[in-house]
Amino acid sequence: MKDINFIQHLALKYKLKILYFDFSLIARIGLSSEVFIQIYINTRKEKINLALVVFDDRVYG
């Protein structure tokens, strides 16, 4: 929410119009130091992608 307020502040300061917000999230769930699940969420496209990564190589997803 802090980022949204900052963006709105800049828009007001420079007299810009915000047409829409597009939010994406990338998260990693670590299973070990070499293995993790990467999650990508894009709210605009309503899309969720998952990938299993082992030793920096995507093995699934």
- The domain locations on the chain are 20-61
Q: Alpha-carbon distance 49 to 61, whole Å? A: 7
Q: Alpha-carbon distance 52 to 60, whole Å? A: 5
pLDDT for 59 equals 97
Q: Max CA-CA distance within the chain? A: 48
Position of tokens 């699940």? 37
**Per-residue CA distances from 31 to 35, 40, 52, 54 (Å):** 5, 17, 10, 10
pLDDT for 28 equals 92
pLDDT digits (tens, 9 = 90+) for 1-54: 566 788 888 889 999 888 877 778 889 999 998 999 999 988 778 889 999 999
Q: What are phi and psi of 21, to 5 degrees?
A: -105, 135
pLDDT for 6 equals 83
pLDDT for 2 equals 66
